[in-house]
Amino acid sequence: MMDTMLKRMSLRSLYALLGFAILTAFFLLGSCLHQIGIPIPGGVLGLILFYLSMSTGLVKLKWVESMAGLMLRHMVLLFVPLTVGLMEMGQLLSKQAVAITASLLVSLVAVMVTTGLLGRWLLPALPAAGKEAGQ
Amino acid sequence: MNFLVTHPVFSIAFTLLSYFLATVLHRRWRWIPPIVAACLPIVALLLLVREPYEKYNQGGNCLTWLLGPATVALAVPMYRHGVALRRSLPTLALIVLAGSVVGMITAGGTAWLLGAPLPVVMSTIPKSVTTPIAIEVCRELKGIPQITIALVILAGVLGASFGAPLMRLVGVKDDRAIGAAIGTAAHGVGTASLVRRSEMQATVSSWAMAAAGVFTSLLAALLKLFLH
C-alpha cells in the first residue's frame, strides 16, 4: 500500500519535472529564434511552437498538464517582483496619471464593445455552442 | 541585518511567503486582490531597511524569468479549449483579432493624444493581454514594464467587474460573444470571473485570452517594423 502510494507520488513529481523541462525548452527555443531575428517575443514564439507540437502529437498533453496548470494557477507570484518596482515610479505615474487612466478606460470599453458586437453579428450563424462542446 | 535582507535567496523566500499570505487573505476576503496584498509587505520591508528596489530584484529577477515558461504554458488551455470550439474557431479568431487591433490603437492613441511621452504610450499598447505576454510586448516596444503591469491588472479587475453589465447594455447575449469580449479585454482575471457564470463563456474566454496575446505580439512586431 505504502509502496504503491510512493510510486504514484514519484510518478506525479516526475511528470511535473518533465513538464517543466518541456515548457522551458520551448521558451528557450523561442528565445533563440527571437535572437536570430524573428520579431516576435521568445515566450510567444515558444507558445506557438508548443501549440503546433501538441496539435501534431509530438508532445502529449499528459506530459505537461500538471506543470502547466501549476504555473498558470500561481502566475501572480511570478509578477510580484516587477510590480514591487512600481514603488520607484510614483513621480512618473502621478505626472502621467490622466493620460494613463484615460487610455485604460477608453481602450477597455472599445475592446469589449468591438469584440462583443462582432461576436453578436458573426457567431449565431454557427452551430449551437452547447452541442458542439458535447461532441 | 541588511546583508540577510538583501540576499537573493531571502528575496525569493520572502516573496513566496508574501504570496502565500496574500492567497490566504484572498481566500478569506475575496475583494482583496492577491497581487496588491503580495506586494505590500515587500515594499514595506524595503522601505523599513532603506534598501533600493534594485537590491531586492537580484533575487526577484529569478521569479520574473519563470514568466517565460509560464507564457508557453498558456498553449495548454488554448489547445484544450480549441478542440472543444473547433467549428467556431476561424470566426472567433477573426473577432479576437479585431478586438486586439482596436485595443492597441485606442490605448496607444489616447495616451498619445493626451501628450504622454513615447515610452508611456508604448507601455499602454499591450494593456489588454495576459501579464507575461504584455511584459514581453512592452519590452519589444521599449516601454516601461511596470506601467504595463499596473494597466494590465486594472484592465483585468475593471473588465471582470463591469464586462458583463456592459455586454448587457449593448445587447450582446450570445455566450461565445461575451466570453470572447471579456477574454480579449480582461485576460485571466476576466476569465476567472466567468467561471461561475457559464462554462461556455469561460471556455471561449480562456481561448480568447491566449489568442489575443498571440495576435497582439504579432501586431506589435508589425508596428515595430513600421516605426523603423
Q: pLDDT of B51-68, one tens digit each? A: 899 999 999 999 999 989
Residues B45 and B113 in one domain: no
Distance from CA of B196 to the nearest CA of A (A): 16
The answer to whether residues B180 and B95 touch, using CB atoms and an 8 Å cutoff, is yes
pLDDT at position A37 = 87
Nearest chain B Cα to A117, which residue?
A: B172
Residues B153 and B126 in one domain: yes
Residues of A in contact with B11 (CB under 8 A): 81
pLDDT at position A75 = 84
511621452: which residue's cell? B117
Residues B106 and B218 in one domain: yes
ipTM: 0.86
B55: exposed, middle or buried (Cβ count in 10 Å: 0-12, 13-18, 19+): middle
Q: How many domains does chain B have?
A: 2
pLDDT per residue over B109-137, tens digit each?
Answer: 999 999 999 999 999 999 999 999 999 99
Instruction: Please state which of the ranges A35-49, B33-47, B97-111, B191-205 shows the lowest mean pLDDT.
Output: B191-205
pLDDT higher than threshold 50 for residue A106: yes
Judged by CB atoms closer than 8 Å, whether chains meet at B128 and A111 is answered as yes
Residues of B in contact with A62 (CB under 8 A): none
pLDDT higher than threshold 60 for residue A128: no
Q: How many CA atoms lie within 13 A of B67 on its CB side?
A: 23
Residues B198 and B147 in one domain: yes
Residues of A in contact with B153 (CB under 8 A): 83
Distance from CA of B99 to the nearest CA of A (A): 5
Residue B152's domain comprises 73-227
pLDDT at position B116 = 92
Which of B77-86, B103-112, B146-155, B200-209 is predicted most confidently?
A: B103-112
What is the mean pLDDT of the segment spanning B95-105? 96
Higher-confidence position of A10 and B173: B173
The answer to whether residues B98 and B108 touch, using CB atoms and an 8 Å cutoff, is no
pLDDT at position B32 = 82
Distance between CA atoms of B86 and B63, rounded to whole angstroms? 35
pLDDT at position B113 = 96
pLDDT higher than threshold 70 for residue A103: yes
Residue where a domain terminates, one of B64, B99, B114: B64
Residues 6+ apart with CB under 8 A from A116: B166, B167, B170, B172, B177, B178, B180, B181
Residues B187 and B90 in one domain: yes
| A13 inside 8 A of chain B by CB | no
Residues of B in contact with A92 (CB under 8 A): 120, 144, 147
Residues B146 and B204 in one domain: yes
Residues B111 and B163 in one domain: yes
pLDDT at position B127 = 93
| Average pLDDT score over chain B | 91
pLDDT higher than threshold 70 for residue A134: no
Residues B197 and B93 in one domain: yes
Judged by CB atoms closer than 8 Å, whether chains meet at B146 and A24 is answered as no
Q: Calculate helix-pair angle for B8-28, B53-65, nearest 10 degrees.
A: 70
Rg (CA), chain A: 22
pLDDT at position A73 = 87
Distance between CA atoms of B167 and B34, rounded to whole angstroms? 27
Residues of A in contact with B72 (CB under 8 A): 23, 26-27, 30, 43, 46-47, 50
Residues B53 and B77 in one domain: no
Residues B13 and B85 in one domain: no
502565500: which residue's cell? B20
pLDDT at position A132 = 43
Q: Best of B42, B48, B76 to disrupt the A interface by mutation (most A CBs within 10 Å)? A: B76
Higher-confidence position of A127 and A65: A65
Distance between CA atoms of B194 and B71, rounded to whole angstroms? 22
What is the mean pLDDT of the segment spanning A78-103? 89
Residue where a domain terminates, one of B64, B97, B113: B64
Residues B16 and B78 in one domain: no
Distance between CA atoms of B172 and B189, rounded to whole angstroms? 20
pLDDT band at A127 (very low <50, low <70, confident <90, very high): low
Distance from CA of B128 to the nearest CA of A (A): 7
Residues of B in contact with A102 (CB under 8 A): 110-111, 114
Listed by number, the residues of chain A in 40-79 with a beta carbon closer than 8 Å to a beta carbon of chain B are 40-44, 46-48, 50-51, 54-55, 61, 64-65, 67-69, 71-72, 74-79
pLDDT per residue over B151-199, tens digit each?
Answer: 998 999 899 889 989 999 999 989 999 999 999 999 888 888 887 788 8
